[in-house]
Amino acid sequence: MTLLNHHAEGSASAPPLLLGPSLGTSYALWDAVAPELSISHRVVRWDLPGHGGSAAGLIEAGATVADLAALVLALADSLGIERFAYAGVSLGGAVGLHLAVHRPERLSSLAVICSSAHFNGSTPWEERAALVRREGLAGLAENADARWFAGDFTVPRLVRDHRDADPEAYAACCDALAAFDLRDRLAEIAVPTLLVAGREDAATPPAHLREIADAVPRATLVELPGASHLAPAQCPEAVLTALRAHLGPGAPRGMAVRREVLGDAHVDRAQARQTPFTARFQDFISRYAWGEIWTDPTLSRRERSMITLTALVAHGHYDELAMHVRAARRGGLTPEEIGAVLLQTAVYCGVPAANSAFATAQRVLAEEEDTV
């Protein structure tokens, strides 16, 4: 089966995130955002049929958004992705709305950017499809900047991608937009939903996003000043900030893992000692060390404990070592296994370091015996 052209980045073990494009663009629309998102997610961006590297034959005249959603699910299936977060712009956002209504079991969250639950009726899109089938895309591409961006901003590659798209596939995507209207189904959407509107967007004005936000339970709406229709290209930092918050910041998840590994008593003491001066550092630890590294399923927590013990011995951090000896015991390591790890450090970190480490570990293990 021919699949949508796509680009994947980020760890294969990270939570998957699929990014959908706007009509006339390629996955280059996400160039300024996707690499940052790939720090914490397995990011997969895809091209519409006949756009970028996707085959034009994947879509035909009279296509629907449901047809595009089926292609996205086929891509996810091919990559072994069962459930994923999704973010899409314009037509890509419509695909996300369709999935949230018709295949909610596949989505963990949804972000709809500069899009709509309807696109102002069928007539404008039927007329555009007829124009493109008759004259091609050169004329539309000439006016792309005015439709897509505010002010003098432009992204030459996206304009070029618009000009180079397959006219029949582009027209079929117009057919899909002409037939799309999910307004009567929005209240059914149950996944966490973010709406991002560009205040300068004439194609899908903020009112369209407000309409979705009003109908979808517990949806969040963000309006971006200075952004037009292709907000990820024109205002990538603002879009990135909104998506990071929506996709689940690492700190809450990290705090849960931190408590599981270190124990409530230790974390409570650390929080009690927190001051305005140290607050950002504590957030940094929870967000990145515990929210991204310790949650990565590539290594088990037992393996991470062993690695951590070794690193702490190597750098002589014996107070931290005591804390992580306790954590290792909470995680199921036996005293014998901890001793084996420390013996390994005698070879590679030096006997004096291991000697101090054994003394620290013995004290912690003795304390444990006294409490039994």
pLDDT digits (tens, 9 = 90+) for 132-141: 999 999 999 9
What are the C-alpha distances in Å from 36 to residues 30, 42, 74, 241, 247?
Answer: 10, 11, 26, 10, 13
Whether 176 is covered by a domain: the verdict is: yes
- Say if residue 237's pLDDT is above 60: yes
Please indicate, yes or no, whether residues 17 and 143 belong to a single structural domain of this protein: yes
Indicate yes or no: pTM above 0.75: no
Please indicate, yes or no, whether residues 275 and 359 belong to a single structural domain of this protein: no
Residue 330 CA neighbour count, 13 Å, CB half:
20
Please indicate, yes or no, whether residues 193 and 287 belong to a single structural domain of this protein: no
Whether 104 is covered by a domain: the verdict is: yes
- Say if residue 372's pLDDT is above 60: no
- Say if residue 260's pLDDT is above 80: yes
Report percent pLDDT > 90 for the chain: 80
Please indicate, yes or no, whether residues 182 and 279 belong to a single structural domain of this protein: no
Length reported for the chain: 372
Whether 12 is covered by a domain: the verdict is: yes
CATH of the domain at 328: 1.20.1290.10
Please indicate, yes or no, whether residues 212 and 97 belong to a single structural domain of this protein: yes
- Higher-scoring residue by pLDDT: 260, 69: 69
* Residue (of 103, 114, 85) closest to 232 by Cα position: 114
Helix, strand or coil for residue 270? helix
- Say if residue 35's pLDDT is above 60: yes
Q: How confident is the model at residue 252 (pLDDT cuts 50, 70, 90)?
A: low
Please indicate, yes or no, whether residues 129 and 272 belong to a single structural domain of this protein: no
Q: What is the pLDDT of residues 139-190, one digit of tens each?
A: 999 999 999 999 999 999 999 999 999 999 999 999 999 999 999 999 999 9
**Contact in structure between 246 and 213 (CB atoms under 8 Å):** no
Q: What is the pLDDT of residues 100-119, one digit of tens each?
A: 999 999 999 999 999 999 99
What are the C-alpha distances in Å from 64 to residues 22, 59, 137, 261?
Answer: 15, 9, 21, 48
Whether 1 is covered by a domain: the verdict is: no
**Contact in structure between 216 and 186 (CB atoms under 8 Å):** yes
- Higher-scoring residue by pLDDT: 213, 295: 213
Residues 240-247 have a mean pLDDT of: 90
Domain boundary among 247, 280, 311: 247
Domains in the chain, number: 3
Contacting residues for 154 by C-beta, under 8 A, at least 6 apart = 145
Domain that holds residue 32: 6-247
Q: Give residue 295's pLDDT.
A: 84
Q: What is the pLDDT of residues 303-331, one digit of tens each?
A: 999 999 999 999 999 999 999 999 999 99
Kindly give the interhelix angle for 91-102 and 167-179, rounded to the nearest 10 degrees. Answer: 50
Whether 323 is covered by a domain: the verdict is: yes
- Say if residue 275's pLDDT is above 80: no
Q: Quick one: CA torsion of 359, 365, 369, 372, rounded to 10 degrees?
A: 150
Please indicate, yes or no, whether residues 197 and 172 belong to a single structural domain of this protein: yes
* Residue (of 156, 162, 150) closest to 91 by Cα position: 162
Dig out the tokens for 265 from the structure: 């008593």
Residues 31-35 have a mean pLDDT of: 94
Helix, strand or coil for residue 243? helix
Please indicate, yes or no, whether residues 75 and 211 belong to a single structural domain of this protein: yes
Query: How far is 290 from 233, CA to CA, in rounded Å?
Result: 31
- Say if residue 284's pLDDT is above 90: no
Please indicate, yes or no, whether residues 170 and 25 belong to a single structural domain of this protein: yes
Q: Give residue 115's pLDDT.
A: 98
Query: How far is 365 from 363, CA to CA, in rounded Å?
Result: 6
Q: How confident is the model at residue 279 (pLDDT cuts 50, 70, 90)?
A: low
Residues 74-83 have a mean pLDDT of: 97
- Say if residue 228's pLDDT is above 80: yes
Helix, strand or coil for residue 6? strand
Residues 329-358 have a mean pLDDT of: 95
Q: Please provide the average confidence, as pLDDT, over all residues in the chain.
A: 93
Whether 166 is covered by a domain: the verdict is: yes
Query: How far is 114 from 98, CA to CA, in rounded Å?
Result: 15
CATH of the domain at 52: 3.40.50.1820
Query: How far is 313 from 311, CA to CA, in rounded Å?
Result: 5
Dig out the tokens for 311 from the structure: 């690193």
Please indicate, yes or no, whether residues 258 and 118 belong to a single structural domain of this protein: no
